[in-house]
Amino acid sequence: MELTVKDTEQNMDYWLQRPYLSEATRSIMQAQEVLIVPEEDLREYTTPLFPSNLMVLYDELKQYFKVEAAINDEDYHELSLNSKVHKYGKFVVIAVIVPTFVTVLGNYISDKLKHEDPKDEIQLDITVQGDQGQAKTVHFKGTADNFNKVAEKVKQIAREQEDEHRTDTAHAATTKK
Amino acid sequence: MNIEQILRTPQQLRSKAETDTINTYLTAQLESAIAAADEPNANKWALLSMIFEAQMDYLRVYALFESEEYYAAWCLLERIEIAIKGIFRLYQFVEDEYRIKFIFEYIRKLQSLFPYKVFGSSEYIKEIVRCGICNELVTLRKRCGHVKGQLYMGKMCVHEIEQSHFVGMSIVDVPFNKYSVMGVTSKTDDSYHYPQIEYLMSVIDHPFNEWQTKNYKIFKPHREYQTGRNEKCPCGSSKKYKSCCLTKPGIETDHTDFLLTYPTLKSKLKMNQLKNRK
């Protein structure tokens, strides 16, 4: 199992500035709770790519959140790798909705894999973005029954970022006085 | 025709003529519902056709085993597996009224008996995708409303890839596409051995006999091998024999026990033969 956490600059603002996005796409990407972001420079293909069947997850997430993908509609392509690792993509999620997000995502994965081999691996990245734009990425590759470890880690990061914001706000209020 | 009774008894042996009659009946019912624009009934008959086809394909697997067409059987097992996943999306089984859950479980068991370890995995980019029902382009934000995997007037919605870009091939040990076995394409181009399937066929009477396998390691006597101390160990570990199994009671080898839930005629015959030899 791989479960890593690292600081990242690839928050929502970063993805809004990607050069391949049209102004129309940037406009619909504004003020989202979840951004689904692509893999870039994968296999030397010139446009960014998403994992196979991500469209289905996009539809599912849209039922619960304000969600968009960082790609123009006409440039949306899925890469089918055909190994047995189930890739669920990369997400940037604002901290406050992380608990609900991991529940929805966990239920989706559980439903998709209920007729698959329990030894199959899943892979995904979740970037948690705090109020000030600070971001940390959790990368996971492992069996679905370990997804709870990802959920706990992501929720912990979200709590830390919210605590940081409260501390900063309290400090700013104290300083103003 | 009591189609419900037929589908609930897939273990009943039927002639090819009977099977053809059932297929003709199912097709006629489906076409009649489509002609009447009766979508619920069209979908019902389409689903029953899928169930019957999965049952018959499962029986065909054993016919392929009998004729030693093992790779063809492997490919058919994968097609049944995919079809049944589609059935599961469409129908909530109360118990296992059509034996579909049984078939799904036993497909996995049969697949585990094959010796295949290495597969080719294709990698491609889906560039233009169309809906199999209405032929509209499928994009992330513009959809026709048809859902992949659902039935519409008796036809399953699939996404047809009109244009793709081949990126490469990988060699994998756990493939998504199971048909892509390295080293075999047909019965006449097959360097594998299938001792576990051959043994299974020697002890079961029928595809719906229940059985389990138990895998563990045994030690085969050193005297059965002519391997030098400094040669690679016969167990397949890549270590030298002297550093590996030569220090153990024998060559560590995979062994599979077959456990029948109920004795079969063949297994009783086998036991009698063993007793007579002693």
- Domain assignment of residue B46, yes or no: yes
- Domain assignment of residue B180, yes or no: no
SS3 A170: helix
Q: What is the model's pLDDT at position A81?
A: 81
Q: Which residue has the higher pLDDT, A126 or B117?
A: A126
Q: What is the model's pLDDT at position B174?
A: 82
Tell me whether residues B126 and A80 touch, CB distance under 8 A: yes
- Domain assignment of residue B204, yes or no: yes
Task: Give me the residue from A56, A74, A83 closest to B176, CB to CB.
Answer: A83
Both tokens of residue A31? Answer: 């003020």
Distances (CA, A) of A108 to A57, A60, B28: 8, 8, 38
What are B2-54's pLDDT values in tens digits? 888 899 999 887 888 999 999 999 999 999 999 999 999 999 999 999 999 99
Tell me whether residues A81 and B85 touch, CB distance under 8 A: no
Instruction: Say whether both B165 and B195 belong to one domain.
Output: no
Q: Is the pLDDT of residue A169 over 70?
A: no
Task: Give me the residue from A55, A76, A81 closest to B123, CB to CB.
Answer: A81
Q: Nearest CA of chain A to the CA of B249: how many Å? A: 32
pLDDT level of residue B65 (50, 70, 90 thresholds): very high
Domain count, chain B: 3
- Domain assignment of residue B266, yes or no: yes
| End-to-end Cα, chain A, rounded Å | 50
Q: What is the model's pLDDT at position B130?
A: 96
Query: Domain ends where: B112, B130, B145?
Result: B112
Instruction: Say whether both B46 and B124 belong to one domain.
Output: no
Which residue in chain A is spatially nearest to B137 when comparing CA positions? A74
Structural domain boundaries enclosing A110: 2-176
Instruction: Say whether both B160 and B209 belong to one domain.
Output: no
Answer whether A74 touches B (CB < 8 Å): yes
ipTM: 0.84
Helix axes B39-66, B16-35, angle to 10 degrees: 160
Structural domain boundaries enclosing B241: 191-277
Q: Is the pLDDT of residue A43 over 70?
A: no
Q: What is the model's pLDDT at position B170?
A: 87
Q: What is the 3-state secondary structure (H, E, C) of chain B?
A: CCHHHHHCCCCCCCCHHHHHHHHHHHHHHHHHHHHCCCHHHHHHHHHHHHHHHHHHHHHHHHHHHHCCCHHHHHHHHHHHHHHHHHHHHHCCCCCCCCCHHHHHHHHHHHHHCCCCCCEEEEEEEEEEEEECCCCCECCCCCCCCCCCCCEECCEECCEEEEEEEEEEEEEECCECCCCCECCEEECCEECCCCHHHHHHHHHCCCCCCCEEEEEEEEEECHHHCCCCCCCECCCCCCCEHHHCHHHCCCEEEEEEEEEECCCCHHHHHHHHHHHHHC
- Domain assignment of residue B184, yes or no: no
Answer whether B166 touches A (CB < 8 Å): no
Instruction: Say whether both B123 and B108 belong to one domain.
Output: no
Tell me whether residues B175 and A83 touch, CB distance under 8 A: yes
- Domain assignment of residue B179, yes or no: no
Rounded to whole angstroms, the Cα distance separating A10 from B13 reads 62
Answer whether B277 touches A (CB < 8 Å): no
Instruction: Say whether both B73 and B164 belong to one domain.
Output: no
Instruction: Say whether both B133 and B197 belong to one domain.
Output: no
pLDDT level of residue B188 (50, 70, 90 thresholds): confident
Q: Considering only the C-alpha atoms of chain A, give the largest distance between any 2 of them, rounded to a whole number of Å.
A: 61
Instruction: Say whether both B8 and B108 belong to one domain.
Output: yes
Query: Domain ends where: B66, B96, B112?
Result: B112
Instruction: Say whether both B199 and B257 belong to one domain.
Output: yes
- What is the pLDDT of chain B when averaged over all its residues? 92
Rounded to whole angstroms, the Cα distance separating B139 from B40 reads 28
- Domain assignment of residue B152, yes or no: yes
- Domain assignment of residue B178, yes or no: no
**pLDDT above 90: percentage of residues in chain B:** 73
Tell me whether residues B125 and A69 touch, CB distance under 8 A: no
Domain count, chain A: 1
Q: Read off the pLDDT of each residue in A29-47 and give the average, rounded to a whole number.
A: 86
Give residues 128 to 157 of B whose Cβ lies within 8 Å of A.
138-142, 148
Q: Is the pLDDT of residue A114 over 80?
A: yes
Instruction: Say whether both B58 and B16 belong to one domain.
Output: yes
Instruction: Say whether both B12 and B95 belong to one domain.
Output: yes
Q: Count of A–B CB contacts within 8 Å?
A: 62
Q: Specify the pTM.
A: 0.87
What are B190-235's pLDDT values in tens digits? 989 999 999 999 999 999 999 999 999 999 999 999 999 999 999 8
Q: Is the pLDDT of residue A104 over 60?
A: yes
Instruction: Say whether both B32 and B96 belong to one domain.
Output: yes
